[in-house]
Structure 1
């Protein structure tokens, strides 16, 4: 019998970047043949494994894709100081570890529904389009990243895309000079679970520099991902005098030695919107110690005839999410933008029930400080709760640090402890 650790090492050698499905599907088909499970694949590459005459009461669920910062990356595992990490890449513990618990239980012949979903990291695509019908009464998701925390609720989210085409050529009567302005290597971070940490937003900072120095905007590009706080931005702007730097590090201002009789500029409404936009936390629950509502200005880009802005809004309540979406649309339209929204996923309202209490009681045998939590980020659990209202759901996981980055690492002792917890939870059902 393989351990969870041994299985994790095996599947880490399989190509699983988001959008890559066949290698892992082939592996699972062979695995099911070996241990006597049916292997069902839907049109969105979601994999459901179960016994032929299954009477499963619990479904274990995880996504099998990983974030790859390099194309076609297969992580090379390194063990160091009680952790696994990867050589110059993401590790894929998010969520290879979760999948490994499921494969381990399959090797032990458990009668469960085992659901491996596709492409979670690029928009929860598999979960949103799931075609398999689940019959289990309970679901245990193993995609949380902090030992001791049992997630029983999460935020819903919506992505907002805005375009502005208000470019014009003006005569340079006031002797404006051109400058390249950049802000780089800010901390960045997850725009859900880290939005309350007051991490500086590079796009907001550069708009303040341009606005407070009376600048005119010619070009701007910044931000990395729609679900992260922007760490880098670069702009071309025109100023009458050398601009005064904002009171923050990592700002670089370089004069462009070109004098122009005409300037091809964007409307000041764009800078005004970014400058005045209330970015970050909008509401906070002190008792639960969780952000209720937030919005992050994540990306901005310029092409020949338009500027595009991407924002990500989140809320722990679906009605509040709809309110933020509508208010932001009206505000953007007021500043001359055309607006579209997409990628909406439901909130998972925190729910304490017999299943979550059972998970908590079992967990406390191994960690007296274990607690029920809600997080300000999207989880597949919310989608499944909406699809299968009868299900009672909880999410747990071992300690994974810095997922989605080359610094990602998973604590080995935490993986082994959670294996005992997962097995006891399933045994109790």
Structure 2
């Protein structure tokens, strides 16, 4: 727990490398563990086999060190994360925690160190063959670190630690793709009797686009689409979403309306009908102001929000596992240009292709660009999968709808599984790590 808290408190959002890389270098140097860092900030540390284990196969253990940083109180990504324990869980104060994937990183690093900050904390483990520890960068924005990995693994057996479901061995994962739609908006004159109404949303459940599917059957962007359908207004600005693979939980919309009070009452009544989709921090604030600008945009520029499917699009009737899904994760206006980012996942390449065609049809007035595509990790039950199941006991084998870096590493010819502790609500301010499960997960890594 001490190592986890130290690692987790260091600022480590995607694309911010130095604080976490420097801390990991310090820990590895202090424990005389050799390592190399490639040009994409991926770290490969090698622990040589113990004398009596030289004939054992090499194994690689892997975690990514970046996080999806979100905050509900204006905390900056470069700020240290404030961590506390409550009722058997570890949480962060007003931000995401980053247990995804620092819990995995701490668990695979701890067995091989004996010192931390100059203190002897335990004896080093010495009952293993060669171990490679791979710490990857920028996983949360399209698996960029592992996509550009310059290290070559010696190991042919690989354990990823990004699973967030206890008692589960992951043997396959979804591929993903970011689809960016842009449109230059036509400015129109707003009637002089209209006034400004700013809507500030917070407290939609949000979360991870691969895990939090059932709790986001109706989300913030869909609510905004409903509001614009019901109200006579002009659109001035919209700013929703902070990360391409995180379902939005807060945002702002500025509209011009003829009757501020009537619009407020209608919007508030619509909002109260959606309480099942809110967290306990749900809130809707209004800011009324006189009309300062003479031009805005037609509200029907966002009419696609009522037609765009944001949900599990295809699932497996037998396994009940989602096969293909998508969510609109970022919606904004910049320099009179509307941008909508849709993040799609699928356990099949054909499913990813289908979302591209579907969205192009729905968003036919927009320019379309696709980025950060990666293919699925095809589910397989190998000898290594069964061996891990035998060692861990009472764990089920299944694929998962999230995207894992393993989809790239299996191309190096490794047999892979993913395991991890119980983490709830990753990619949101409600993220939390279960302490009992974390301890059990560490014991699984030791085994």
Tell me if TM exceeds 0.5. Answer: yes
Superposition map of 1:258-277 within 5 A: 258=291, 263-266=295-298, 268=300, 270-277=301-308
Distance 1:71 1:237, change over 3 A: closer
Distance 1:7 1:233 in 2: 34
* Aligned equivalent of 2:340: 309
User: 1:204, CA displacement in angstroms?
Assistant: 1.8
Give how far 1:51 is off. Answer: 4.5
Residues 163 and 420 in structure 2, CA contact (< 8 A), matched pair in contact too: yes
- Report deviation, 1:254: 6.6
DSSP 3-state at the match of 1:167: coil
Post-superposition offset of 1:85: 3.4
Q: Find the partner of 2:362 among 310, 331, 334.
A: 331
> 1:76: Cα distance to partner?
4.7
Partner SS, residue 66 of structure 2: coil
Match of residue 318, structure 1, among 338, 349, 353: 349
Q: What residue is the counterpart of 1:421 in the other structure?
A: 444
Counterpart Cα distance in 2 of 1:65 and 1:235 = 30
1:209 aligns with one of 227, 230, 233 = 227
The secondary structure found in structure 2 opposite 1:78 is: strand
* TM-score, normalised relative to structure 1: 0.83
Question: Contact 2:424/2:433 (CA < 8 Å) preserved in 1?
Answer: yes
Report the CA distance between 1:382 and its aligned residue.
1.8
Q: Is the Cα contact below 8 Å between 2:173 and 2:377 reproduced in 1? A: yes
CA drift of 1:162 comes to 1.4
Structure 1 residues without counterparts, runs of 5 or longer: 425-429
Query: Where in structure 2 are the equivalents of 1:321-360 lying within 5 Å?
Result: 321-332=352-363, 334=364, 336-360=365-389
**CA contact under 8 A between 1:203 and 1:233: conserved in structure 2?**
no
User: Does the alignment pair 1:362 with 2:363?
Assistant: no
CA contact (8 A) 2:43 2:136 kept: yes
* CA gap 1:68/1:331 in 2 versus in 1, 3 angstroms: closer
Matching residue of 2:399: 374
Q: Which residue of 1 aligns with 2:116?
A: none
Scaled by the length of structure 2, the TM-score of the pair is 0.80
SS of residue paired to 1:158: strand
Contact 2:83-2:93 at 8 Å conserved across structures: yes
* Aligned-partner Cα distance in 1 for 2:285–2:20: 45
Q: How many positions carry a matched residue from both structures?
A: 408
1:214-239 CA-partner distances (Å, limit 9, x unpaired): 54433322233322223334334455
Structure 1 residues 165 and 133: alpha-carbon distance in aligned structure 2, compared to 1, 3 A threshold = same
Contact 2:228 2:299 in 1 (8 A): no
* Offset at residue 397 of structure 1 (A): 0.8
CA deviations over 1:156-192 (Å, ceiling 9, x no partner): 11111111113133484xx873452526222222222
- 2:58 corresponds in structure 1 to 57
- The answer to whether the 8 A contact 2:175-2:403 is kept is yes
Any idea what the Cα deviations from partners look like across 1:339-397, whole Å, max 9, x if unmatched? 21112122122222211122222222xxx3x2123222222122222x32x22111111
Could you tell me which residue of structure 1 aligns to residue 102 of structure 2?
96
1:411 to 1:356, Cα distance in 2 relative to 1, 3 A: same
Of the three residues 188, 196, 210, the one matched with 2:214 is 196
Once the two structures are superposed, residues 58-108 of structure 1 have per-residue CA deviations (whole angstroms, 9 ceiling, x without a partner) of 211111234444333334543443333345554433222212222233332
Q: Does 1:149 align with 2:181?
A: no
Is the contact between residue 206 and residue 216 of structure 2 (CA under 8 Å) also seen in structure 1? no
**Whole-Å separation in 2 of the counterparts to 1:240 and 1:281:** 38
In the alignment, the residues of structure 2 paired with residue 8 and residue 414 of structure 1 have an alpha-carbon distance, to the nearest angstrom, of 14
SS in 2 for 1:362: helix
1:38 matched to 2:63: no
| Counterpart in the other structure of 2:325 | 294
Describe the SS at the equivalent of 1:247: helix
1:205-244 alignment, distance < 5 Å: 205-238=223-256, 242-243=262-263, 244=266
User: 2:289 & 2:6 partners in 1: Cα distance?
Assistant: 53
